[in-house]
Amino acid sequence: MKDFFKSVDFESPNTYVKIIVFILVANIIGTNIFIPDYFSLELAREIWNWSIIADIVFIGTMTACLLIPLEMHSRSNSSIRTPIYGIISGMMVYLGYMASWFFVCLFSNEWTMDDYGWVFYGYWGAIACMLTSMVIMSASNAK
C-alpha cells in the first residue's frame, strides 16, 4: 500500500483525523436526504447498527475515496488539479455509497433490496465529500 500512496504519511495522526472527518461527513450528510427541510443524526446513527459488513465496506470505500484522489492530486502538475480530483473524489463517494447500501439492503432486517433506490438520495454526501476533499487538497498545496 505504501508503494502507491507515496505522498500519504501513514505515521501522522493528522492523516487519520482527515480520514475520520471525511467518513463522518460522508455518513452524516449523505444520510440526510432532506437537508433543506430537515436535518437529523438519527438515520446516520441507525445505519451503523444495521450491518457490520456494510460498515466495513463504507469505511473502506470512503477511505479509498479520499486517499486515491489525494495521492493522484499530489502527483499531478495540472493547474486545475484540485477541482478535478475533488470531483473524482465525489464520484468515487457515490460508488462507495452504492456498494455500502447494497450490503445494508442485503444484510439488515430493516431494509430489503427493494429499498436500494434510496442510494440515489446520497448526493448530498457526495457533494459534501467533494468539497471536503478539495479543502484537504488545497491545504496540501500550501505545504
For residue 1, tell me if it sits in a domain: no
- pTM equals 0.84
Asked if 62 and 23 touch (Cβ cutoff 8 Å), the reply is yes
Is 132 inside a domain boundary?
A: yes
- Structural domain range at position 135: 13-141
37 within a domain of the structure (yes/no)? yes
Residue 123 lies in a domain: yes
Residue whose C-alpha is closest to residue 101's, from 74, 120, 128? 120
Looking at the domain assignment, is residue 21 inside a domain?
Answer: yes
Alpha-carbon dihedral angle through residues 57, 137, 88, 23, given to the nearest 10 degrees: 20
Q: Which residues contact 20 (CB under 8 A, 6 or more apart)?
A: none
Is residue 8 domain-resident?
no
Question: Could you give the count of Cα atoms lying within 13 Å of 136 in the half-sphere of its Cβ?
Answer: 29
Predicted local confidence at residue 132, as pLDDT: 92
Does 83 reside within a domain?
Answer: yes
Domain presence at residue 23: yes
**Given this model, what pLDDT does residue 17 score?**
93
Tens digits of pLDDT across the chain (143 residues): 567 888 888 888 998 999 999 998 888 887 776 555 666 677 778 878 888 898 999 999 999 999 999 999 988 888 899 999 999 999 999 999 999 989 989 988 888 999 888 888 778 788 889 999 999 998 876 55
CA distance 40 to 71: 33
Task: Give the three cell numbers for residue 139.
Answer: 491545504
Total number of domains in the chain = 1
